[in-house]
């Protein structure tokens, strides 16, 4: 990458900046990440992806939320990063592995001619065990557990996909006050590391619709790991088949849940633009304003 350069891409409307920290004239800190991701005073994004040297895989990736916190894993971010690696000539392989804070994942690129069409990511195994998510209290599977939110009782199913998720199945998504319930569940005391939140409505034996409140980002048009968590929870509760579509505001992902709870996700990613951070903005970043 050029000095202070970025690439902006989206996956079903969930947009990320890819920035090589080695090419920056300033450190990526919580403050600078928040400024860059700001949609009014910065470039604007749902987060930042940074390539790092791998230890156990072909490539390494760190994922930052727009509030400056670090995410263990992002399905949409992984698809974006995989396409970036191929489109920018950093690999000619169509199958490779990426190491994240939430574990190593395998990636397959599906080409149409010479261009990437869709990307499949093996997201690892879903688990409902409280100590792995984590969820406070005695060791248990957190399935349909009653949680009080401002006097309202919600039945939650908690899932880890390498990052924490809280799935609430409802009869009608249109009746969900996401901006009220989402942040309260994200920061509920039972989730010591906070959590991603999904409200889900089963629409058919092979289809679930979902609204997403992402930890550190808020309402999100789509989330790959959230779609995987919703699918795993729906399968665990025997509401759907093991191969299904998860529909979100930004679009659809195809999810497969194996009997050993390994979850595979397939969907698109699109590059939007490439750019260079300008001198006045860099001055503000470097000066600590």
Cβ–Cβ contacts within 10 Å for residue 146, how many? 8
CA atoms 163, 270, 58, 25: torsion sign: negative
* Domains of the chain from N-terminus onward: 5-123+270-287 (3.10.310.10), 127-260 (3.10.310.10)
- Per-chain mean pLDDT for the chain: 96
- Cite the annotated binding site by residue number: 14, 65, 75-76, 163, 196, 214-215, 224-225
Peptide bond into 261 cis (omega under 30): no
pTM to 2 decimal places: 0.93
Cα distance between residue 132 and residue 188, in whole Å:
17
Fill in the DSSP letter of residue 132.
G
Contact 28, 19 (CB under 8 A): yes
Check residue 286 and give its pLDDT: 80
Residue 287, burial from CB neighbour count under 10 angstroms (0-12, 13-18, 19+): exposed
- Cite the annotated binding site for substrate by residue number: 14, 65, 75-76, 163, 196, 214-215, 224-225
The DSSP code sequence of 217-271 is: TEEES--HHHHHHHHHHHHHTTSS-SEEEEEETTEEEEEEE-TT-EEEEEE--EE
pLDDT in tens, 228-278: 999 999 999 999 999 999 999 999 999 999 999 999 999 999 999 999 999
């Amino acid at each position: 990458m050029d000095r202070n350069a970025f690439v902006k891409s989206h996956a079903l409307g969930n947009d990320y900046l890819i920035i090589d920290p080695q090419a920056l004239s300033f450190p990526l800190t919580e403050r600078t990440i928040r400024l860059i991701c700001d949609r009014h005073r910065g470039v604007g994004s749902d987060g930042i992806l940074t390539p790092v040297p791998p230890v156990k895989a072909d490539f390494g990736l760190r994922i930052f939320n727009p509030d400056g916190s670090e995410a263990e894993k992002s399905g949409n971010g992984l698809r974006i990063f995989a396409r970036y690696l191929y489109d920018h000539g950093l690999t000619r392989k169509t199958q490779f592995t990426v190491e994240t804070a939430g574990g190593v994942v395998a990636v397959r690129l599906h080409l149409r001619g010479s261009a990437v069409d869709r990307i499949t990511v093996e997201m690892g195994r879903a688990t409902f065990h409280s100590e792995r998510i984590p969820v406070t209290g005695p060791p248990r599977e957190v399935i349909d557990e009653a949680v009080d939110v401002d006097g309202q009782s919600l039945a939650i199913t908690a899932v880890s996909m390498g990052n924490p998720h809280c799935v609430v199945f409802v009869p009608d998504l249109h009746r969900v006050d996401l901006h009220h319930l989402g942040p309260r569940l994200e920061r509920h005391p039972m989730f010591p590391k906070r959590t991603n939140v999904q409200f889900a409505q089963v629409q058919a034996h092979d289809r679930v619709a979902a609204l997403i409140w992402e930890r550190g980002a808020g309402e999100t048009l789509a989330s790959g790991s959230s779609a995987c968590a919703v699918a795993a929870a729906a399968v665990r509760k025997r509401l759907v088949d093991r191969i299904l579509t998860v529909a979100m505001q930004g679009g659809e992902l195809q999810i497969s849940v194996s009997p050993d709870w390994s979850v595979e996700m397939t969907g698109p990613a699109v590059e939007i633009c490439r750019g260079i951070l300008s001198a006045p903005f860099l001055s503000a970043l470097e000066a600590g304003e």
